[in-house]
């Protein structure tokens, strides 16, 4: 796809959806309710390091559930696939991201992309204490973003003091021996990872790093072991958009992850990473404009992984 075309597609989509005001910002974390709902940015970074962006691309926000993808990668690196699978499954839930459910036979949370599974995943992050665990987490995010990262303290403390539902999930998993005793430490780490600050460009670079076998296409640094990319992308594909994951896979057809901040990342393996930020959410907690933009970008560029009807070898990994 020619550069001008991609730039034009993104500009058109930004123009088209700027006026869409459906949905509402997340307010169950009080600090998130303060966001300007009209913010809107789209960014694409290719595996060759080309950057295309439009809108409020410098605006910082907290990464929220998009962090789950990257924490899962770190847990896999820390323990290996087999052990992580004993603690968190890979089945889509069909339920809301904050559903309090565990698999009835194994007592595992269903997958690492919903809150219960993400808390279990974060509890696996190695370190001698809270500071080392946090630093390992932040260093991991820096490798994906290519710069130092910070936790938004007001969002962290806001969620820490109101996150009773997440605390309940942690206690339930403790009851079944799925996470270890130190649940307050793991919950703090989980709330901190959700409060890591990013902008839309960062999201796209992180997505492009996953598209580029774990190597940041801007800094050329490795962010995650390439052997775990297929695990990460598989759970994103089947579980990343919560109880919209099936429809997303069917219509848009690329691995993705959303967060209640209003961000979405989408990965086109070996091609590009897409980041969208727009805080108004639909009933499932996915950005309304974000879903629309990704749907149109996917259609426009023929990105669906199983798309075979168009003859554009540059953007069709499955059909080549
Ligand atoms: N920090 C949020 C929570 O645990 C993340 C949820 C989300 O982005 N879907 O509820």
Element at 168 (helix H, strand E): helix 164-175
Return the DSSP state at 37.
T
Distance (angstroms) between ligand 1 centre and the Cα of 260 equals 6
Could you say which architecture CATH assigns to the domain 3-61+200-220+227-318?
3-Layer(aba) Sandwich (3.40)
The per-residue pLDDT for range 206-218, each reduced to its tens digit, is 999 999 999 999 9
The per-residue pLDDT for range 163-193, each reduced to its tens digit, is 999 999 999 999 999 998 799 999 999 999 9
Residue closest to 279 by CA, chosen among 292, 289, 291? 289
Per-domain residue ranges of the chain:
3-61+200-220+227-318, 65-194
The per-residue pLDDT for range 129-139, each reduced to its tens digit, is 999 999 999 99
Residue nearest ligand 1's atom 4 by CA: 115
For residue 181, what pLDDT is reported?
A: 79
319: confidence class by pLDDT, cuts 50, 70, 90: very low
Q: Is 263 in the pocket of ligand 1 (CB under 6 A)?
A: no
Distance (angstroms) between ligand 1 centre and the Cα of 45 equals 25
Residues assigned a catalytic role: 65, 68, 190, 242, 260
Supply 320's token pair.
């080549």
Residue 148's CB is within 10 A of a number of other CB atoms, namely 9
Helix (H, G, I), strand (E, B) or coil at 84: helix
Question: What is the number of the ligand 1 atom nearest to the C-alpha of 165?
Answer: 10
Question: Bridge-partner residues for 54, per DSSP?
Answer: 42
Does the structure show a pLDDT above 50 at 274? yes
Task: List the CATH code of the domain at 65-194.
Answer: 3.40.710.10
2: confidence class by pLDDT, cuts 50, 70, 90: low
Q: Is 121 in the pocket of ligand 1 (CB under 6 A)?
A: no
311: confidence class by pLDDT, cuts 50, 70, 90: low
Q: Is 242 left (phi over 0), alpha (psi -120 to 50) or beta?
A: left
Distance (angstroms) between ligand 1 centre and the Cα of 99 equals 11
Helix (H, G, I), strand (E, B) or coil at 302: coil
The per-residue pLDDT for range 101-146, each reduced to its tens digit, is 999 999 999 999 999 999 999 999 999 999 999 999 999 999 999 9
Contact 109, 116 (CB under 8 A): yes
For residue 123, what pLDDT is reported?
A: 97
Measured between alpha carbons, how far is 311 from 299 in angstroms, rounded to an integer?
13
Return the DSSP state at 276.
E
């Amino acid at each position: 796809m020619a550069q001008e075309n991609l730039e034009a597609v993104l500009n058109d989509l930004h123009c088209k959806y700027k006026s869409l005001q459906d949905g509402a910002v997340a307010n169950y974390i009080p600090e998130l309710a303060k966001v300007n709902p009209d913010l809107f940015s789209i960014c694409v970074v290719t595996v060759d390091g080309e950057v295309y962006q439009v809108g409020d691309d410098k605006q910082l926000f907290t990464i929220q559930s998009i962090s789950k993808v990257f924490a899962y990668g770190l847990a896999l690196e820390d323990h290996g696939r087999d052990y992580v699978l004993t603690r968190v499954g890979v089945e889509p839930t069909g339920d809301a991201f904050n559903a309090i459910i565990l698999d009835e036979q194994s007592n595992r949370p269903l997958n690492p992309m919903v809150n219960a599974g993400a808390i279990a995943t974060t509890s696996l992050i190695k370190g001698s204490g809270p500071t080392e665990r946090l630093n390992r987490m932040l260093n991991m995010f820096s490798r994906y973003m290519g710069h130092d990262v910070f936790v938004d303290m007001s969002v962290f403390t806001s969620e820490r003091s109101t996150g009773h539902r997440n605390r309940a999930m942690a206690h339930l998993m403790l009851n079944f021996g799925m996470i270890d005793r130190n649940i307050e430490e793991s919950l703090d780490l989980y709330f901190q990872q959700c409060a890591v600050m990013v902008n839309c460009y960062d999201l796209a670079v992180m997505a492009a790093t996953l598209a580029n076998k774990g190597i940041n296409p801007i800094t050329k640094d490795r962010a995650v072991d390439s052997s775990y990319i297929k695990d990460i992308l598989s759970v994103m594909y089947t579980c990343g958009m919560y109880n919209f994951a099936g429809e997303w896979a069917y219509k848009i057809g690329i691995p993705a992850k959303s967060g209640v901040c209003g961000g979405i990342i989408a990965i086109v393996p070996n091609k590009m990473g897409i980041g969208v930020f727009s805080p108004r959410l639909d009933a499932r907690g996915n950005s309304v404009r974000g879903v629309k933009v990704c749907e149109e970008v996917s259609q426009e560029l023929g990105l669906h992984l199983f798309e075979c009807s168009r003859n554009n070898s540059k953007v069709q990994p499955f059909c080549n």
